Amino acid sequence: MTTKPETRPNRARLMMGAAAVALALAALAPPARAADAPAADAEIAEIAVVAKVMRVSPSNVPLEATEPTSIVPEGFLRDNIVPLSSFDDMVKFQPSVYAQSPNGPGLGKAETLSLRGFQDSQFNITFDGIPFGDATDLHHTSSALFVAHDMGQAEVDRGPGTASTIGKATFGGTLGFLSKTPSEDPGVTAYGTYGSWNTKGIGGEVDTGRTVLGRMFFDVQRTTSDGYLTGAEEQRTNYFFKDVLDIGERTTVTLVASKNHSFEYTTQGVTLADLAKYGDNWGLGNNPAAQSYYKYQPSRYSSDFDYIRVQSELTDSVKLDNTAYTNGFGHHYKESSDASDSNPKDVGVTFYNAAGKKVATYASDIPGKEANANYRTFGDTLRLTDSLSFGDIKAGVWYDRQLDHRHSESYDWTQGVLVTGKYGTPYTYKYRDLNTTWQPYVEFDWKVTPDLTLIPGVKVTSFTRDVDALYNKTKPPAPLNYSETYTEPQPSIAAHYTIEEGWTAYAQVAKGFLAPPIDVFQVAKIASIKPEETMNYQVGTAVQRGRWMVGADAYYIDFSNYISTSQVPGTTETTFVNGSGAIYKGLELETQYALTDALSLYANASLNHAQYKDNYVWVADTPQWMATTGVMYDSPEGLYFSAIGKVVGPFYGQDNTTDAKTGQPDFANAYRIHPVFTADVSVGWRLKDLGYHLVDVTPSLKIGNVFDTHRINGFAGTQSATGQALYWTTPGRSVFFNLSVTGW
């Protein structure tokens, strides 16, 4: 392939452009005035207006941020997100975030979740400050985790953070989710959802209020749905407990325990031919003679998340924050060899004996597999802060240990038996994987002046992967016992400056690090692979002045050691190699204007550019631009309303393949996805103190994709039998009625 040298932008010019944006925002702030009482009162009133509308905003821009940050407040989650929704639905309106769930909003797992073009497993996801992710590559099954009703806040940090930002993949940023704080008042809440695709949800929450045992709540929720896609039925049960106990005046202990179970029939995408034949909600079929039969795709998930957190003021200046935790994930599933294949001719199962000799072939049997994946994580986060007159000294360490067991065996759906393959075993893989992470850090928040803070720091990540495989994922399956440790210091420095009250600016330079996934070990010839790394450069500003909230930033990310597959010379085997990398750069803007203390307008926009070095090939699944706009109304009398639309610009589903002749990566874009616009509407009424111990009764209506847009919105790979491209589509219009009743 002929490539052209990349024309890199001048970094200084990029940063100067961002500074110009920050200076232009000064026009939003009122001019300085003499300190007379009437003017001060007027300014306080204006700030109060901003604070009121920000409670229900899709996103808030914090003035204290040291990198581009968007906070989704509890009011927005409560009023605009269906209680049964998964975490991807909570952040989908934020700048540079693209999330889509083809089975419907809040239903099924997110098939696409990207941040600035970095994909799930390339950025951090935390729950109450604890990083977590799948043991293989850090991805997340959103439908098997916590639900919106139990969350109090979501935070999108578009950058690697400072040295005290822990996690295995701060590489591309952090999506942080916080559970809600137990109420100070006792109460019992019953709530339910009924809506499109026979979706039914019911839940109950008990709040103890403040007692000698702390402030506790327990929530249980059960959801069933047929889903938007045909045959994609799902069921889900969630339990959540939280207790916050104050021990004296200096110590707080928090206990959290959660458990989640879900069942679903898993889809794999749709070809254009089936899309035209069956409609854009085609998922799985009802023909037992074809691989796409829905009963051939059952998946059962279970997960839990439990921790105990101690926060204590050891002295007047020294604070301790320690969290010991465990979380687990299990996925037991069966599936046909290709759930997207609706052609009854693409079937057949061949049996072999233990010596690898063919013994029988059944031409009409359905081929498939039975698999199981389980991991359990134990860890601890220790943070110490010493507040001195000239700043805060922070130090700590994060320890995380994951034990992972997985296996997969060939299966004949027609006969209901395991299938011995040509290598003499039903197993395609069977292994145990142990991952150990140590991440100490030290950071200094130096208050150079009352307005300027410099934050230098460094953390060191040490990640060890130990693989013990009876059958490694190779052909033929073979034993493997292998260990590799990756250690890397990650320095960072940030500056935060208060220009004037309500207007701040920041700059950041930080190194990101991501250890290789387990895939690099699952080849016949293991190559020496370096961790992927980034150098991140960002500047930005945040404004909360008058009736305005504004955030603007520019970023430039140098991504090195990109990992891709390559053919071993002289063989048909593939291995993994490091490529040169990619350049990510862009501009992001987010703003809200309060028309009144109840009515506001919101908008954000992002330009995201991600191309591989030394060529003009776009990184796959990176929307080139996105924009969100909306109107929110939140009346003191109880009525609330919002209408929010988001357009996701074009992107490519594929960026490289393996050249058939050379066996080397061939970078080229394919499967262009065109822009897609969808809009959601929410309306509800909070009825307070109705008597008969009814504290709050809130009926609400949530309409998703209100204009009933039907478009292809994602690439899902290719079909094994035909090589045809598979796609995801936008779920059609949905209507969900919700009712919440709280009494005491």
Q: What is the pLDDT of residues 647-660, one digit of tens each?
A: 999 999 988 776 66
- Provide the pLDDT for residue 572: 58
- Provide the pLDDT for residue 447: 96
Question: Does residue 707 sit within a domain?
Answer: yes
Residue 526 phi/psi, 5-degree rounding, is: -85, 125
- Provide the pLDDT for residue 655: 85
Q: Kindly report, residue by residue over 305-343, the tens digit of the pLDDT.
A: 999 999 999 999 999 999 999 999 999 999 999 999 999
Q: Return the bridge partners of 625, or none.
A: 607
651 touches 618 (CB < 8 A)? yes
Question: Does residue 685 sit within a domain?
Answer: yes
Q: Kindly report, residue by residue over 723-736, the tens digit of the pLDDT.
A: 899 999 999 999 99
- Provide the pLDDT for residue 13: 39
- Provide the pLDDT for residue 171: 85
- Provide the pLDDT for residue 38: 45
Written as one string, the DSSP assignment of 77-126 is: HHHHS-TT--HHHHSTTSTTEEEE-TT-TTSS--SEEEETTEETTSSEEE
What CA–CA distances, in Å, run from 151 to 73, 89, 184, 523, 706?
10, 12, 17, 41, 25
- Provide the pLDDT for residue 449: 96
Cis peptide before 476 (omega within 30 of 0): yes
Confidence at 571, pLDDT banded by 50, 70, 90:
low
Which amino acid makes up residue 431? Y
- Provide the pLDDT for residue 568: 60
Is the model's pLDDT at 81 over the cut of 80?
yes
> pTM of the full predicted structure?
0.90
- Provide the pLDDT for residue 577: 79
Confidence at 27, pLDDT banded by 50, 70, 90:
very low
The CATH code of the domain that includes 402 is 2.40.170.20
% of the chain beyond a pLDDT of 70: 91
Is the model's pLDDT at 17 over the cut of 80?
no
Question: Does residue 23 sit within a domain?
Answer: no
First to last CA, the chain: 70
Length reported for the chain: 744
Q: What is d(CA 134, CA 140) in angstroms, rounded to the nearest whole number? A: 6
Q: Kindly report, residue by residue over 410-430, the tens digit of the pLDDT.
A: 999 999 999 999 999 999 999
Structural domain of residue 363, as residue ranges? 38-743
What CA–CA distances, in Å, run from 600 to 140, 319, 634, 645?
34, 39, 9, 15
Is the model's pLDDT at 629 over the cut of 70?
yes
- Residue at token pair 């460094």: 458
Question: If you average pLDDT over residues 440-447, what whole number do you get?
Answer: 97
CB atoms near residue 31 (< 10 Å): 5
- Residue at token pair 């000064």: 26
Question: 524 or 253: whose pLDDT is higher?
Answer: 253
Q: Which of 701, 641, 646, 699 is closest to 56 using CA atoms?
A: 641
Q: Mean pLDDT over all residues of the chain?
A: 89
- Provide the pLDDT for residue 690: 84
Q: Return the bridge partners of 641, or none.
A: 633, 683
- Residue at token pair 């490694």: 472
The domain total for the chain is 1
Q: Kindly report, residue by residue over 132-167, the tens digit of the pLDDT.
A: 999 998 899 888 888 999 999 999 999 999 999 999
Give the helix/strand (H/E) hosting 170. Answer: none
Written as one string, the DSSP assignment of 10-73 is: PHHHHHHHHHHHHHHGGGGSPPP----HHHHHHHHHHHHHHHHHHTT-S-B--TT-SS-EEEE-
Give the helix/strand (H/E) hosting 392. Answer: strand 391-412
∠203-208-214 over CA atoms, to 5°?
125
Q: Kindly report, residue by residue over 226-261, the tens digit of the pLDDT.
A: 999 999 999 999 999 999 999 988 999 999 999 999
- Provide the pLDDT for residue 664: 66
Q: Kindly report, residue by residue over 526-543, the tens digit of the pLDDT.
A: 888 899 999 999 999 999
Question: Does residue 9 sit within a domain?
Answer: no
Q: What is d(CA 590, CA 605) in angstroms, rounded to the nearest whole number? A: 6
351 touches 361 (CB < 8 A)? yes
Residue 232 phi/psi, 5-degree rounding, is: -95, 50
Question: Does residue 470 sit within a domain?
Answer: yes
What tokens appear for 335 in the block?
């599936």
Q: Kindly report, residue by residue over 501-511, the tens digit of the pLDDT.
A: 999 999 999 99
Q: Which of 556, 482, 474, 528 is closest to 11 using CA atoms?
A: 556
Alpha helices by DSSP H, listed for 618-693, are none
CB atoms near residue 200 (< 10 Å): 14
Q: Which of 320, 474, 324, 353 is closest to 424 using CA atoms?
A: 353
CB atoms near residue 235 (< 10 Å): 13
- Provide the pLDDT for residue 425: 95
Q: What is d(CA 588, CA 542) in angstroms, rounded to the nearest whole number? A: 12
Is the model's pLDDT at 395 over the cut of 90?
yes
Question: If you average pLDDT over residues 694-721, what whole number do you get?
Answer: 93
Written as one string, the DSSP assignment of 664-683 is: SEEEEEEEEE--EEEEEEEE
Q: Kindly report, residue by residue over 455-484, the tens digit of the pLDDT.
A: 999 999 999 999 999 999 988 999 999 999
Confidence at 174, pLDDT banded by 50, 70, 90:
very high
Is the model's pLDDT at 642 over the cut of 60?
yes
CB atoms near residue 230 (< 10 Å): 20
Per-residue buried b or exposed e for 565-577, using 16+ beta carbons within 10 Å of the residue's own CB: bbbeeeeeeebbb
Question: Does residue 7 sit within a domain?
Answer: no
Question: Does residue 371 sit within a domain?
Answer: yes
- Residue at token pair 């935390």: 126
Write the secondary structure of 498-520 as one string of H (helix), E (strand) and C (coil). Answer: EEECCEEEEEEEEEEEECCCHHH
- Provide the pLDDT for residue 564: 76
**To the nearest 10°, the Cα dihedral for 608, 612, 613, 614?**
-120
3-class SS of residue 477: coil
Question: Does residue 714 sit within a domain?
Answer: yes
Question: If you average pLDDT over residues 348-362, what whole number do you get?
Answer: 94
- Provide the pLDDT for residue 10: 42
Q: Which of 248, 386, 383 is closest to 315 using CA atoms?
A: 386
Cβ within 8 Å of residue 176, ≥6 positions away? 124, 125, 126, 129, 154, 155, 156, 157
Is the model's pLDDT at 29 over the cut of 80?
no
